[in-house]
Amino acid sequence: MQMGDDQARLYRLDGVAHIAGVINDEPQRCIRSMRRQQGMRLDERYVPYLQMAGLYHLARLNNRWFRIDEPLLSAFMERWRPETHTFHMSFEECTITLQDMAYQLGLAVDGRYISIYIYIDGGRPAWVWFEELLGVNPPPSQVQKFAVNCSWFQETFGECPEGADKDTVRRYARVYIMMLLGTQLFADKSGNRIHIRWLPYLAGPLQLLQFWIFWRFPRFRPTGYDTCSWPLASRWSGYNPSVSEKGPRVQMWRLQIDMLQPRDFIWMPYSFPDVLHVVHPEALESRHTALWRSVMSLIYFAFGGVQPRPRPALNIDFLMSKDGRGSDRWFPSAFQHWHLHWESRADHVLWFDVVADPGPLHTYLD
């Protein structure tokens, strides 16, 4: 930083608060783990519906228990910069991509976006639609705004009855998908509620960050988990982080990250034969691979190429503070341009020559 620069800019970028701003005052600050898995049994009768929804591989992971290493993830979050959507490391910058989503979780990256506001703005009450899809509405005591307690889902749809007809199995499968999205893939900080914004899906989290770290940084990998299976995240299902005090471990991981060298990072971890051997062919279809470098609302950095000058950070503090109990600001029509942007995703794919030594442009350094 040059003389005369405002040091506060390191901690608030275009009005966006950053966790780095509290390190000096709270050097042992650590995130709190949220609910990771919904605990409902995967009934074989749900499988055809999970396959149609493109979530079967994720559902298979749900049968395994993945423990979150909060201190490790906290140390990495301190290096996330909202202007560039990358982790600023001592040697280079790196980020999670749609390719990581596809390989780690077995999720397709091409498809329609999910947004409930279309249906609400169109005059169809959300709870009427809820009852049509699931056959019953939760009692008011189990609802907070547009979020439903997980316990109600588990008590009402925990076990699909033997001999159930096709319509009943379909309803139970819809609940399983809703719980899968709302707890394992997109858990919010409430930890025990499911938002009904996943209803459109019935008609990738902190967890992904940990998988990404293990694959990209060999130094941080746990030992004894070398068996490759699909999805690739299943390799780390037995990981059991230390139960020692979290605060000192945050500081330890922070020091370990500071000491990283370029050789400690794997830029192309999925090109090894033992990985390609187990990857599902669907993940390699051109309609998915063509979008790995698509510039969308949540994806910016062009992996393997030259980084241009960053754009201003998008201030979404008011969204980050939501926990599922708020009003319809979860799905306002004001964000329709983001949805339209995704519809034209094929027009926003970055094309560039992959270089041996990727780095920033001179304008970026300036």
Q: Could you read off the pLDDT of 200-237 as tens digits, one per residue?
A: 777 645 667 888 888 888 888 887 766 678 888 888 87
Let me know if residue 302 belongs to a domain: no
- pLDDT of residue 313 exceeding 80: no
The model's confidence at residue 128, banded by pLDDT at 50, 70 and 90, is confident
Tokens of 14: 């275009």
* Long-range interactions of 159-165: CB distance < 8 A, separation 24+: 159/41, 159/43, 160/43, 160/45, 160/46, 164/45
Separation CA 190–CA 202 (nearest Å): 22
Asked if residue 149 is part of any domain, the answer here is yes
Q: What is the pLDDT of residue 169?
A: 95
In a domain, 327, yes or no: no
Structure tokens at 38: 């919904």
Tokens for 166? 């096709």
Query: Do 364 and 84 form a contact (C-beta atoms < 8 A)?
Result: no
Would you give the end-to-end CA distance of the chain in angstroms?
Answer: 12
Q: At 86, which helix (H) or strand (E)? A: strand 86-88
Helices and strands (H and E) in the chain: how many: 16, 8
* 12 is a domain residue: no
Q: Which domain holds residue 142?
A: 26-285
What CA–CA distance (Å, rounded) separates 342 from 99?
Answer: 17
Kindly state whether residue 182 falls inside one of the protein's structural domains. yes
Q: Tokens at residue 246, please?
A: 């979290």
* 85 in Cβ contact with 95 (< 8 Å): yes
- Of residues 326 and 313, which shows the higher confidence score? 313
Q: What does the block give as tokens for 77?
A: 């979050």
Of residues 313 and 157, more confidently modeled: 157
CA–CA distance from 280 to each of 237, 307, 353 (Å)?
19, 30, 27
Q: Are 27 and 251 in contact (CB under 8 A)?
A: yes
Q: Residue 357's pLDDT is what?
A: 60
Q: Is residue 57 part of a domain?
A: yes
Domains held by the chain: number? 1
Lowest mean pLDDT among 30-44, 152-166, 228-242, 304-318: 304-318
Backbone angles phi, psi at 70, to 5 degrees: -60, -45
Average pLDDT, the chain: 77
- pLDDT beyond 70 at 364: no
Determine the Cα–Cα distance for residues 206 and 115; give it in Å rounded to an integer. Answer: 22
Q: Is residue 239 part of a domain?
A: yes
pLDDT tens, position by position, 54-78: 889 888 887 777 788 989 999 998 9
State the DSSP code for 159. Answer: S
How many angstroms separate the CA atoms of 93 and 171, rounded? 45
Asked if residue 206 belongs to a domain, the reply is yes
Per-state percent for the chain, helix, strand, coil, to nearest 5: 45, 5, 50
